[in-house]
Structure formats: structure tokens, C-alpha cells
Amino acid sequence: MVQITSVVLFLSSLASFVSATPVPHKSSAVAPAAAPTAATLVAASTGNAPAAVGDGFQLLKHADFQISGGVAGNAAAEANAISSLAERHGGMRKAAEAAETGEFNPAIVAAFGAEATALQVGKIKNKVLKLTAFCQVLNIKIAKAKAAGNDSADLEAKLVSQQTKLNNNIATDRKSAGAVSQAIV
């Protein structure tokens, strides 16, 4: 019973962080060696200073940690540079998914030519970010289930599915290496 209560409390607390996820500000993230410049990891200034949370984490909006701009070909390294430092991967994934369905998809439909192509490339990079965070959440859940002596087969199956999607999107990003990638923020 204590284990079930712990899981419920964990999931409840995870859900409460959806709208404002504490993650390290991108300017403090270490740029991957393959990144052409540090600018690919720095978001455009929003003019709103994020609130400090502690331990180097700040409450950020999707616009402050998105990786959709710049050029394609390195989304996995960019997503890992952001996600590996994130305290709350679930909220990051949900914010990236909301950007995909609520902002990228309509923008791509409304755009033409090179702009539509650049937005599609940005959407793929955003999907790499979303799926990277999702796989990390699943890995955490699997580790917790195993540590508690619980069955993790359903989580492991979900991880295989999400990892396959992640690998496909990384391959698509790499095929687009050097192409212009447009963010929606």
C-alpha cells in the first residue's frame, strides 16, 4: 500500500510541474562538441527573466529550452544537452508535445516553400527533444519499479516503442544535416 501511495504521490507531483518545468537555463548547458556554434543552444531573449528555483534550475517556458532553430543534423546532441540536465523531464516532454501539436502543425499547414520546409525540420528537432525527455522519464520509472520489486514489463515495452520513434526522428534530423531549421517561438 505504501508503494502504491508513493507512486500516486510521485505522479501527482510530476503532473503539477507541466506548465512551468524547472530546467537549467540553456545558456548554462554545455554545448555538444558537434554543435556548429553556441548560438544553436541559446534561445532568443523573451524579455521576461525566469524565476530562480534553486540549484541552478529556473522555471522556463518551452521557448526558453526549445532546440528547433538553427540547422538540422545535431538534434540528438542538442536534446541531450538540455534533457540530461533537466530535473523534471515529464513537464519538458509535455511542453514540447504541446508546441508540436499546437504550434508547429498549424504553422506548417499555413506556410509555403522554404518556410514550410524549415518549420518541418524544426518540428523534427522538437520531436527529438520530446522523445528524449519521454525516454528518460520511462527509464526513471523502470528503475523505480525494479528497485521496488515491481513488474516493469509494460514500461519497458513503452520504452522500446518510444526509443524506436526517437531513433527514426534522429535519423530524419541527420538526413537534413545543414538544412535551415525554424523554431516557432
Q: Please measure the distance between the N-terminal and C-terminal CA atoms of the chain and give it in whole angstroms.
A: 45
- Average pLDDT of the segment spanning 30-56: 34
Weakest mean pLDDT among 29-33, 113-117, 123-127: 29-33
Exposure letters 42-59 (e unless 16+ CB within 10 A, then b): bbeeeeeebeebeeebbb
Please tell me the predicted confidence (pLDDT) of residue 22: 42
Q: What length does the chain have?
A: 185
**In this model, does residue 104 exceed pLDDT 90?**
yes
pLDDT at 65: 77
Q: How would residue 63 be classed by pLDDT, with cut points 50, 70 and 90?
A: confident
- State if pTM tops 0.85: no
Q: How many degrees, rounded to 5, is the angle at CA 39 between CA 85 and CA 26?
A: 25
Whole-number mean pLDDT of the chain? 73
> Would residue 134 be called left, alpha or beta, if left means φ above 0 and alpha means ψ between -120 and 50 degrees?
alpha
182, 68 Cβ separation under 8 angstroms:
yes
Rounded distance between C-alpha atoms, residue 182 and residue 163, angstroms: 24
Look-up: residue for cell 510530476? 14
C-alpha cell recorded at residue 171 = 535519423
